[in-house]
Amino acid sequence: MDGDEGGLPRRRRIAPWQIAALYAVLAIVLAALGFGGLWRDLSLLPEPPASRWASLVTALPAAATVLLRRRAPRLGLGLAAGIFLADALTVGGLVPLLVVLELLHAVILRLAQRQRAAVLSWGIAVLVAVALSIQALLGDVQLTVLIALQLGALFGTTYWYANSVAQSRELVALYRQRATDLARLTELDRAAAVRDERERMASELHDIVAGHVAAVAIRSEAALSLHGPAHPSAAASAAAPAPATRAEDAHPERSALRAVRDSSLQAHEALRTMIAVLRDDPAAPAAAPLGRAQLPGLVAEARRSGLSVELHDGVSSALPAAVDQRVGRIVQEGLANSAKHDSGATVAVHVALRGGGVHVRVVSRGGRALDDAGLRGNGLGLRGLAEGVGAIGGRFRAGPVGSAWEVVAWLPLPESEPGGCRPAGRGAVLGDERA
């Protein structure tokens, strides 16, 4: 029996015609040696065949059915079984029985686990029916039991071996798929960590450095305004149309303030460009911003990874860009964590309007963790979500609730947010910057 199916490494394939030729040669050799009459007690012929070559009448057609081993193994098995039955009731050769075992092995290799169990049940039923038929034909209990045990041992051994090979191939395919999934999840986790670090750097530049640089520009502009027309020397300079160079020579402090203001504005513009570069995703520069419109796609991708996901989106109106993007980011992170830490879990995603804002809830129940040290989270994703939600005055929580894992966020809507829940400065700047 060759190993032409499955996921195991193959040595050298043996073509079906080669196997058929081997069985044909075996049949000729056995016929030449006079090896026949194995089932003489079951023969319906009044006398044994006179010629030793009579067994080839059934042996060669049985060998020919091996040609169907790959393209139509079930058809080949049915034909071989019929030939074996005719052989057992006439000449009683060996090759038809071997061919039936060969094709039975090929059929079992192609069946799923449940189908293989069904074949075992049917095989036992057929064996019992054959034993009862032999008993009715011969009337000899001892001979019936002996033949039934022989056939049961042959078919049972063939089934056990083929089932073991099929299970090993399924395990190999499963481990290969698992390794592929783990590598993909590890890459996604690494990309998410890099993205979160870039976002953190962009936030620090925006909130600290850019703010101070902007403050320098504003204060220098204010100083120039204070020392404008109200300044006596400035008024005199304005009355006399002197060249700009002479006016600045007369008031070097104004020239210095203008230089400070211009340099601050240039630095602020450079920082804005740097922040935009850090917040851009280099892996998908042309991708649309993540939001509620992408939730069905996220759910479909999660289902393909083995999760059972239900989406309940109760928001019918459009959301502000900053809130909409954070909703998509929260759902994306929740589903990614479920796929990574709760493989096969049931996940419910709820998006609704509540308390003057948008309430997002991702609940994961059941599933099993993928036991791999490379996939253990570092918390950057959830920490980044918490910082982003807090930046616009929202609330965020993630953690176990009973036997489930829950990610919950509330994002205020600018037009109807509760008083005092959103920082007046930082939250508004972040929202404007991302919009």
**What pLDDT does 390 receive?**
85
5 near 69, Cβ under 8 Å?
no
**Unique residue bearing structure tokens 């670090």:** 197
Lowest mean pLDDT among 36-40, 103-107, 399-403, 413-417: 413-417
- At 227, the pLDDT band (50, 70, 90 cuts) reads low
Per-residue pLDDT averaged across 329-355, rounded? Answer: 84
Structure confidence at residue 48 (pLDDT): 66
Inter-CA distances, 305 with 182, 189, 309, 369, 370, Å: 11, 15, 11, 14, 13
Q: How confident is the model at residue 45 (pLDDT cuts 50, 70, 90)?
A: low
Average confidence score pLDDT of the chain: 75
Q: Residue 32 has which token pair?
A: 């030449």
Q: What is the pLDDT of residue 40?
A: 66
Q: Which residue has the higher pLDDT, 43 or 364?
A: 364
Residue 82's pLDDT band, with cuts at 50, 70 and 90, is: confident
pLDDT at 435: 30
Instruction: Determine the Cα–Cα distance for residues 157 and 382; give it in Å rounded to an integer.
Output: 55
Q: What is Dmax (Cα atoms) for the chain?
A: 142
pLDDT category of residue 273 using cuts at 50, 70 and 90? confident
As a dihedral over the C-alpha atoms of residue 131, residue 86, residue 100, residue 81, rounded to 10 degrees, the angle is -80
Residue 310: per-residue pLDDT: 92
Of the candidates 204, 181, 193, 187, the residue with the CA atom closest to the CA atom of residue 378:
193
pLDDT at 87 over 50: yes
Query: In the prediction, which pLDDT does 335 show?
Result: 85
Q: What angle do CA 208, 398, 347 make, to 5 degrees?
A: 130
At 401, the pLDDT band (50, 70, 90 cuts) reads confident
The confidence score (pLDDT) of residue 133 equals 79
Q: Is residue 393 within 8 Å of residue 309, measured between CB atoms?
A: no
Q: Which residue has the higher pLDDT, 134 or 217?
A: 134
How is residue 111 annotated by DSSP?
Answer: S
The CATH architecture one would assign to domain 289-435 is: 2-Layer Sandwich (3.30)
pLDDT band at residue 303 under the 50/70/90 scheme:
confident
pLDDT at 374 over 50: no
User: In this model, does residue 205 exceed pLDDT 90?
Assistant: no
- Strand pairing of 357-365 and 346-354? antiparallel
For residue 349, pLDDT beyond 80: yes
Average pLDDT over residues 115-142: 81
Distance CA 355, CA 183 (A): 41
Between CA 365 and CA 374 the distance in angstroms is 23
Task: Select the more confidently predicted residue: 266 or 326.
Answer: 326
Instruction: Report residue 247 CA to chain centroid gap.
Output: 71
Residues 99 and 30: their CA atoms lie apart, in Å, by 15
Q: In 9-109, which ranges are E strands?
A: none
275 Cβ contact partners less than 8 Å away, ≥ 6 residues apart: 202, 205, 206, 210, 433
Strand order in the sheet with 357-365: 308-313, 346-354, 357-365, 404-412, 395-401
Phi, psi of 399, rounded to the nearest 5 degrees: 165, 175
3-state secondary structure (DSSP) of residue 345:
coil
pLDDT at 432 over 60: no
Buried b / exposed e over 360-391, threshold 16 CB at 10 Å, is bbbbbbebeebeeeebeeeebbbebbbebbbb
Q: What is the rounded CA–CA span in Å between residue 342 and residue 360?
A: 20
Choose between 34 and 282: higher pLDDT: 34
Q: Which residue has the higher pLDDT, 318 or 420?
A: 318
**Using CA of residue 34, residue 36, residue 40, residue 43, what is the dihedral sign?**
negative
Residue 424 is predicted with a pLDDT of 32
Q: Which of 27-41, 114-128, 308-322 has the lowest mean pLDDT?
A: 27-41
Yes or no: say if 393 and 378 are a contact pair by the CB < 8 Å rule. Answer: no
**Residues 108 and 159 sit within 8 Å (Cβ to Cβ):** yes
Predicted pLDDT of residue 311: 93
What are 155-165's pLDDT values in tens digits? 888 889 888 88
Question: Does 237 have pLDDT greater than 50?
Answer: no
Q: Which of 90-94, 223-227, 255-259 has the lowest mean pLDDT?
A: 223-227
Q: How do residues 5-17 score in pLDDT, each as one tens digit?
A: 444 445 567 888 8
Q: Element (H or E) spanning 244, and its range? A: helix 244-250
Higher-pLDDT residue of 323 and 367 is 323
Instruction: State percent of the chain over pLDDT 70.
Output: 72
What per-residue confidence (pLDDT) applies to 304?
75
Most confident of the ranges 217-226, 398-407, 420-429: 398-407
Residue bearing the bigger pLDDT, 374 or 50 = 50
**With contact defined as beta carbons under 8 Å apart, do 98 and 151 qualify?**
no
Nearest to 105 by CA among 4, 251, 17: 4
- Which residues of the chain does CATH 3.30.565.10 include? 289-435
Instruction: Give the per-residue pLDDT at 370.
Output: 45
pTM of the shown model: 0.41
DSSP state of 206: I
Which of these, 38, 129, 120, 52, lies nearest to 84 by C-alpha position?
38
